[in-house]
Amino acid sequence: MDERGTDAARRSVVIAPTGMVATSQPLAVQTGIAILRAGGTAVDAAIAVNAMLGLVEPMSCGIGGDLFAIVWEDRSKSLIGLNGSGRSPHSLSCETLADKGFRQIPLRGPLSWTIPGCVDGWFALHERFGGLPMTDILAPAIHYAKTGFPVTPVIARAWQEATKMLSEDPCAAETFLHCGKAPTCGAVFRNPDLADTLSLIAKNGKDAFYRGRIAREIVSFSNKAGGYLSAADFSGHFSSWVKPVSVSYHGYEVWELPPNTQGLAVLEMLQIIAGFDPERLERNSTDYLHLLIEAKKLAYADRARFYADPDYSDVPVKGLIEEGYAREQRTRINLEKAAAEVPAGDPCLNNGDTVYLTVVDGDRNAVSFIQSVYHGFGSGIVPGHLGFVLQNRGTLFSLDRDHPNRLEPHKRPFHTIIPGFVTQKGKPVFSFGVMGGDQQPQGQVQILLNIIDFHMDAQRAGDALRFRHAGSCSPTGYAMHDGGIVYLEPGIPAAVAAGLRKKGHCVEYRQDGYGGYQGIWMDPVTNMLYGGSEPRKDGCAIGY
């Protein structure tokens, strides 16, 4: 198969003049469009979409998790960031777990819990950018939680794969399994407990979650399950407004949120890659992929060394993405040989289940929005009869006392989920994201190069075949010592794989694991919207 074949579009780009929604499940997309048609803002629609996704795609997201968002406010012509991630319990520290014999935080279970930030994030966004009442915004998710919805194919597969894990927690089994089985494709699923929980939130606001009955039930459950969550942990939670950071890339400004997210890795990769003129290479050729992989190794080494909660660590944000540092990093890349050992520069991440959504409204406000419970069904535990799982983000803390991302009381862990945004000459042009844990920065870079350097539209950029490099540095360790593994999506020519192996890469073909992209391109000349949606997921883009 030639390179032109590997980039063939799998569906047409969606074009609309007024508003648009793109995400990974069709019913959620339709919900967002209905909110926009009812006069809601982009943020109103995003919250409604997220609430619906928490129902229809519960392995990936929900109110037991965290969120991050970048909002373009057309009135002020500015970008605003929201960090809606939660913190560790006040009573939990490295010493606490070390005394219990733990060398790392378990992937599942109550020790992986941090305070869910999603609901507070909803209300922070709504207070600043919303228009419709929250009762109207949450009504569609409440309705379908009561009456049921048909499970879509990709989501059904992920649900079925989690059956064994869900069956190990009685409340999770009662909530998400029927007679011990996950719903199949096309089966109608209901979640009346979640309907009740969302109804409480719609009626009583965020206090229902952080100070009222929901918080009390979670804390009571935590006490019985061996967790450390307290009433003070919930009542003391707050989201943070943050300033997005950017680099210039070939005439565009690419924006990400600062740590505790991994968005800086996107910007550092772009700065490194820009000096090699990637548009002069054949896309997905051996030399092209080698360059991206080596740049990724360098950025992820810095990610492992420096990214942490900025309230606890001095993260060198400017230094990591400045041009001078990028020049130094480029000298570390051997264009003919793969690096096997990559320490951090000087200035356990694998899979994550996440949802990404983006909305543009008729006033050209836009929101890039990402939300997750981390691994599939998060911690694997449903706290009683509330209808949702609690996230396992705490597993991303290090128990190394010298690590900047070490577990400390009331601290935000390193976070994988990153919304992206692009402007040009002060105008918004692209709201996008790529869900998928460790894949997110390398997936975003591939999408950006497809659009900016290879002039693909918003749909074709996501359809194009991707790579994923795994085995790089994690936020609980500093260096990579074996070069990792390069996974190629089937369809990338075998000659390319052979060329990469010749340069020293370990290469395997793999069908999945390349993330889930959504994006809306806002043409600054025609004002038309162009939507793209990940063909590897169930969703779509819809405009009006």
Number of H-type helices and E-type strands within the chain: 20, 19
Residues 6+ apart with CB under 8 A from 74: 363, 364, 365, 428
DSSP string across 171-233: HHHHHH-BTTBPPPTT-EE--HHHHHHHHHHHHHTTHHHHTSHHHHHHHHHHHHHT----HHH
* pLDDT score, position 483: 84
* pLDDT score, position 348: 43
DSSP state of 497: H
Cα–Cα distance, 417 to 425 (Å, whole number):
27
Containing domain of residue 56, as a range?
Answer: 14-241+352-396
Residues 6+ apart with CB under 8 A from 290: 335, 338, 499, 500, 503, 505
Looking at the DSSP bridge assignments, the partners of residue 490 are: 492
The active-site residue out of 31, 261, 354, 395 is 354
In-domain check, residue 321: no
In-domain check, residue 481: no
* pLDDT score, position 488: 98
In-domain check, residue 345: no
212: tokens are: 């009222």
Cα–Cα distance, 66 to 62 (Å, whole number):
8
* pLDDT score, position 351: 53
Helix-, strand-, coil-residue percentages of the chain, each rounded to 5 = 35, 20, 45
In-domain check, residue 70: yes
Where the chain has pLDDT below 70, the residues are 1-9, 344-353, 472-481
* Number of Cβ within a 10 Å radius of residue 252: 19
* pLDDT score, position 342: 81
The one-letter amino acid code at 350 reads N
Q: What is the pLDDT of residues 163-214, one digit of tens each?
A: 999 999 999 999 999 999 999 999 999 999 999 999 999 999 999 999 999 9
In-domain check, residue 101: yes
* pLDDT score, position 5: 41
User: Are the C-beta atoms of 122 and 47 separated by less than 8 Å?
Assistant: yes
Strands (E), 56-114: 66-73, 78-84
482: tokens are: 């074996």
Name the domain count of the chain. Answer: 1
> For this structure, is 526 an active site residue?
no
Length of the chain: 544
In-domain check, residue 191: yes
In-domain check, residue 30: yes
In-domain check, residue 474: no
Q: What is the pLDDT of residues 417-468, one digit of tens each?
A: 999 999 999 999 999 999 988 899 999 999 999 999 999 999 999 999 999 9
